Structure 1
Amino acid sequence: MPAETTAAKINQYVRWGSIAIVVVSLLVIIRTLPFDVVTSAMNEWIGSLGWWGPVVLVLLYIVATVLFVPGTILTLAAGAIFGLLVGTIVVSIGSTIGAALAFLISRYVARERVAKLAKDNRRFAAIDRAIEEGGWKIVGLLRLSPALPFNLQNYLYGLTPIRFWPYVLTSWIAMLPATFLYVYLGHVTGAAVGADRERTTAEWAMLAVGLLATIAVTVYVTRLASQKLDEQVDQDQRENADTSKQSGSVATSNARRTVLLATIAVSMVLLAVYVSMNSGDIESTVTSWLGPPAVDATETHSPNPSGPNIDHSLLDEVLATHVQEGGWVNYEALRDNTGKLDRYLDVVASAPWDDLGRDEKLALLLNGYNASTLKLIVDHYPVDSIKDIPATDRWDAVRWNIGGNIWSLNQIEHEQIRPHFKEPRIHFALVCAAVGCPPLRREAYHPDRLNEQLEDQTRIVHDHATWFEHLAGSNELRLTKLYDWYAGDFLQSAESIPHFAATYSQSLRQAIDSEQDPTVEWLPYDWSLNTLPNRRPR
């Protein structure tokens, strides 16, 4: 076998092996990074825009394309947020319009600068001549092939003889396979981590088979396009240069591409290893950027023992009737009989807020938040998760009346409770209607028993593996993500997160006293609805 043929096959094996390594590394990175946190934050923001959400993502994609910013993250996010169909449409529109604008900029605005950059590129010169002869067919092959970066292609085509509309139509069609692949990848990772729950083997198998099939089809189409493109370009190069010199040039070019791809693959592996080894620190950093706002908790309300008392008996009845042991809610029955819940919300709305003492206010806020969340779910039932409710109607909807003040659920938690009560146990009392939330009590919080109830609620959380795991003699500690999201609140009351949790765990206290520093990991936070059909061991 000729040496040149052997070298070509080795290059081919290395290239495809590198591509496989890059794909696997990318999956590891996405699976390890807090993609759910980023997606949730972006989903909240885009979702809050209503029907403007997809429009904004299209505009972001257009800007990214024109400015040479890789659109991979936006494509993945589109798949995770909007799903396969809408995500593909959004990315396709954005990438096509962006490519069209870059083409027009190159042809009519910055032609001399782009031409100067492309002048010394021998492969582009050959592609230019191939496009002159093959027109839109060569553009289609290039779009399907990784021969030139996507954003660079958009500008280079403005220098070629290709007409605008054939270029746009061909680009749109030829970019669809890669668009669908990355949207599907975002959809898979979003589905895998977005709900943050343990998935069945069948679910993982379906996700994996669909992803592998999509990758296989895309790679196959890309390979065919690359081969056809090479034939076209090589033929043009042979017609315009000495064959022996050109052969050496092509071999050198292929070798450089192989080295570059292999370097990228090695870099991706190193990045995947780094991300895997530092996932905790990365997630904490991202959470601090995108998570709940930090607050400086202080006690700002006076006790006022002679102040008025609020009657929470209606909520007691609602919870005792519709909440079962473990915090599972019969939302269907509650939906059919909301009378007491509605009357209790009227009680909360008419409470004399300014005259209430400290414990009365905190009990009112906790009960008002939980009762409002029940009402929110009932108003949109049936839903699989509170996150299925449009963002504009969910945590940021300013609609809940607490003592004559109209607040959103986020305002109740982050503006009225956390800053004004130095009480981190409230995070185990506020319930967001999810399986991963602390269990909803079968009674309302009452000012005269508030400390006792908060202490009991916190102990319940630390007695169940859904929120707390620590094996005696082990330095591994697994905690609910509430500790991660609201770390600052707990650190204002304890030396460290493990020290706070150790108050409710004898084995953890003994480990800390023995100077065994526990390694903290975060338990999955299941956002599926805390409804009876989802009932499971805690």
Structure 2
Amino acid sequence: MNNLSQGHPPKNRLTRTTVIRVLTAIAVILAVILLLDKIAPHLPAAENWIRDQGIWAPVFYILLVCLLTLICFPMDVLFIAAGMIFGLWWGTLYLIIATMTSQSIIFLVSRHLLRSRVEKWMMHRPKMRILNKAIELRGAQLLFLIRMAPIPASPVTYLMGVSSMRFSRFLAATTGILPVAFASMYLGYAAVHWANTTNKPKHHFGLQDIEIYVGLIAAIAGSAYIGHTARKALIEAEKEINGAEKIDEA
């Protein structure tokens, strides 16, 4: 049985998890900044090229997300790319479309094409079996919270494809990804803004810069808090499963 379900986890363990998430976010920001510092002079040309593609730029992005998530590629990278390529508002729109479309495709592929393979895969992974039981117990409400936790989205979607959950409830619960996805997308948007402004010798730090960087801090802090809350809900569900299994064994 997963050690998360054995009693109440120590508070320092949850604190450690939150600290690790914040430090990871800071590391990603620094990495993006270092990379953008090298390519900043080429950003105007890249932005012009993207504009020249017209409607095909978001179409290619959405198709790429759908393809890569099928093989469980990390979605955070794709979310950051949306902010870097399309900016804040268009990036948010394309991110929502790409996320909901890609997860719907994975769910349907799992349910109708790969059911037996996914079930075999799940049988060899105790943590995924526990996760499946927890969602069966709590339903779409728990899945909504899990979507906010630092758990890879695509494997969970494959798991839901072989569960008893209806597609409509799955789709509603999957919107839980969006707040965390927005935080990652905002990171990409803020990183490009930083690169563009530092590449302009006459740029003066102003109100817009403050709004963007305060928004970034708020997005990271909100993402960490949401993940912490979702993790606590998952732990409680696992404890219920553990208690039910002990009753069955008695």
Matching residue within 93, 97, 102 for 2:97: 93
Q: Give the distance between the partners of 1:36 and 1:136, measured in 2 at CA.
A: 43
Distance apart, 1:233 and its partner CA = 2.1
- Counterpart for residue 121 of structure 1: 125
- Counterpart for residue 52 of structure 2: 48
Secondary structure of 1:50's counterpart equals: coil
Q: Give the distance between the partners of 1:6 and 1:156, measured in 2 at CA.
A: 26
- Counterpart for residue 215 of structure 1: 220
Task: Please list, as runs of the form range in 1=range in 2, the aligned pairs for 1:467-478 lying within 5 A after superposition.
Answer: none
| Runs of 5+ unmatched residues, structure 1 | 243-538
Q: Give the distance between the partners of 2:153 and 2:163, measured in 1 at CA.
A: 16
Which TM-score applies when normalising by structure 2? 0.84
Distance apart, 1:48 and its partner CA = 2.2
- Counterpart for residue 109 of structure 1: 113
CA contact 2:108–2:161 (8 Å) conserved in 1: yes
1:40/1:118 Cα in 2 relative to 1: closer, same or farther (>3 Å)?
farther
1:38/1:163 Cα in 2 relative to 1: closer, same or farther (>3 Å)?
farther
CA contact 1:178–1:218 (8 Å) conserved in 2: yes
Distance apart, 1:206 and its partner CA = 2.9
Amino acid in the other structure paired with 1:135? G
- Counterpart for residue 241 of structure 2: 236
Distance apart, 1:211 and its partner CA = 0.7
Return the index of the structure with the highest Cα Rg.
Answer: 1
1:201/1:41 Cα in 2 relative to 1: closer, same or farther (>3 Å)?
closer
CA contact 1:143–1:174 (8 Å) conserved in 2: yes
| Higher helix proportion (structure 1 or 2) | 2
- Counterpart for residue 172 of structure 2: 169
Task: Please list, as runs of the form range in 1=range in 2, the aligned pairs for 1:178-217 lying within 5 A after superposition.
Answer: 178-195=180-197, 196-198=199-201, 199-202=203-206, 203-217=208-222
Q: Give the distance between the partners of 2:222 and 2:9, measured in 1 at CA.
A: 27
Q: Give the distance between the partners of 1:161 and 1:42, measured in 2 at CA.
A: 46
- Counterpart for residue 81 of structure 1: 85
CA contact 2:142–2:233 (8 Å) conserved in 1: no
Q: How many residues align?
A: 238
Q: Give the distance between the partners of 2:18 and 2:224, measured in 1 at CA.
A: 9
Deviation per residue, 1:379-406 (Å, 9 max, x gap): xxxxxxxxxxxxxxxxxxxxxxxxxxxx
CA contact 2:79–2:182 (8 Å) conserved in 1: no
CA contact 2:186–2:216 (8 Å) conserved in 1: yes
Distance apart, 1:208 and its partner CA = 2.2
Is residue 148 of structure 2 the alignment partner of residue 144 of structure 1?
Answer: yes
Distance apart, 1:27 and its partner CA = 0.9
Deviation per residue, 1:40-70 (Å, 9 max, x gap): 5654443221122212211111111112222
Q: Give the distance between the partners of 2:165 and 2:86, measured in 1 at CA.
A: 34
Distance apart, 1:136 and its partner CA = 1.1
Q: Give the distance between the partners of 2:45 and 2:60, measured in 1 at CA.
A: 15
Distance apart, 1:31 and its partner CA = 0.5
Task: Please list, as runs of the form range in 1=range in 2, the aligned pairs for 1:123-522 lying within 5 A after superposition.
Answer: 123-146=127-150, 148-171=151-174, 173-195=175-197, 196-198=199-201, 199-202=203-206, 203-241=208-246
Q: Give the distance between the partners of 2:46 and 2:73, measured in 1 at CA.
A: 18
Secondary structure of 1:14's counterpart equals: helix
CA contact 1:39–1:80 (8 Å) conserved in 2: no
Deviation per residue, 1:11-52 (Å, 9 max, x gap): 223222211211111111111113536765654443221122
Distance apart, 1:151 and its partner CA = 1.9
Q: Give the distance between the partners of 1:28 and 1:158, measured in 2 at CA.
A: 37
- Counterpart for residue 3 of structure 2: none
Deviation per residue, 1:472-521 (Å, 9 max, x gap): xxxxxxxxxxxxxxxxxxxxxxxxxxxxxxxxxxxxxxxxxxxxxxxxxx
Q: Give the distance between the partners of 1:137 and 1:42, measured in 2 at CA.
A: 42
Distance apart, 1:130 and its partner CA = 2.6
Secondary structure of 2:176's counterpart equals: helix
Distance apart, 1:72 and its partner CA = 3.0
Distance apart, 1:189 and its partner CA = 0.6
Query: Quick one: higher RCO (CA 8 Å, sep 6+), 1 or 2?
Result: 2
* Cα RMSD for the two superposed structures: 2.6
1:123/1:37 Cα in 2 relative to 1: closer, same or farther (>3 Å)?
farther
- Counterpart for residue 17 of structure 2: 15
Deviation per residue, 1:246-276 (Å, 9 max, x gap): xxxxxxxxxxxxxxxxxxxxxxxxxxxxxxx
